[in-house]
Amino acid sequence: MATETAGQRRAERAAAAHAPAGTPASPDAPAVRPMRADARRNYERLLTEARTAFTEHGTDSSLEDIARRAGVGIGTLYRHFPNRTALMGAVFQGEVEALLCYARELADDPQPCTALVDWLRALITHASTYRGLSRALMTAYADESSGMARCRVPLGEAGSALLARAQQAGAVRRDVVIGDLLQLTNGIALAAEESPDDPELADRLLTLTLRGLKAGGTGRETGA
């Protein structure tokens, strides 16, 4: 979209100065000034309208329409969110926090493999919440600079801990890595999104995936 591209060029230079309070910064990044009250209100309205639009119409919703519903111009949207993925990352941060909290709850589960499976199932549910989210998450794994990295990185760290426990318990093969698992869950969510008339598809695909994770297998067996 031409407008989005032009806005991105305008906003990228100023994005850091308009980052919301609490946004993680690298150790080498300059100090970020807190947003003014009016800027904070605009930021929150944009998030609210974006969340509604993504829920109703998917993540490819018009950014111009989101800005209009928030009562601001498209330039204001781009000053807060340099591109679509930056807006998506901010919108989904609440869901990511819930998944991180769930991972912490599962950290001491007496059945590490079950804990990992339950968390992966929650990931699939999350990725299925908004049409287009699973595809965006898959793309984020190939782009370290993506605005969705703020979602991907902490989820990878939380999942790694659960995976390590399952591997230490001898329930999951040692060559399994969390990045592959996260991509698989996103792929399953995408497949389910494309097959709305088959509500059991995601669980069936997850079950098939888990058969290949079992310790002692070669990944070629067809049985559980």
Q: What is the pLDDT of residues 23-42, one digit of tens each?
A: 444 344 344 456 788 889 99
Same-domain check for residues 108 and 141:
yes
Tokens of 121: 């199932």
Where a domain ends, among 91, 106, 125? Answer: 91
Same domain, 140 and 169: yes
Domain shared by 132 and 171, yes or no:
yes
Boundaries of domain holding 87:
2-20+35-91
Q: Is the predicted pLDDT of residue 134 greater than 50, yes or no? A: yes
For residue 215, what pLDDT is reported? 66
The number of domains in the chain is 2
Kindly report the backbone phi and psi dihedral angles of residue 110, in degrees, each rounded to the nearest multiple of 5, phi listed first.
Answer: -65, -15
Above 50 in pLDDT, residue 194?
A: yes
Is 88 a residue whose pLDDT tops 60? yes
Residue 22 Ramachandran class (φ > 0 left, ψ -120 to 50 alpha, else beta): left
Instruction: Name the range with the highest mean pLDDT among 17-31, 124-138, 169-183.
Output: 169-183
Against a cut of 0.75, is the pTM above it?
no
Q: Is the pLDDT of residue 94 over 70?
A: yes
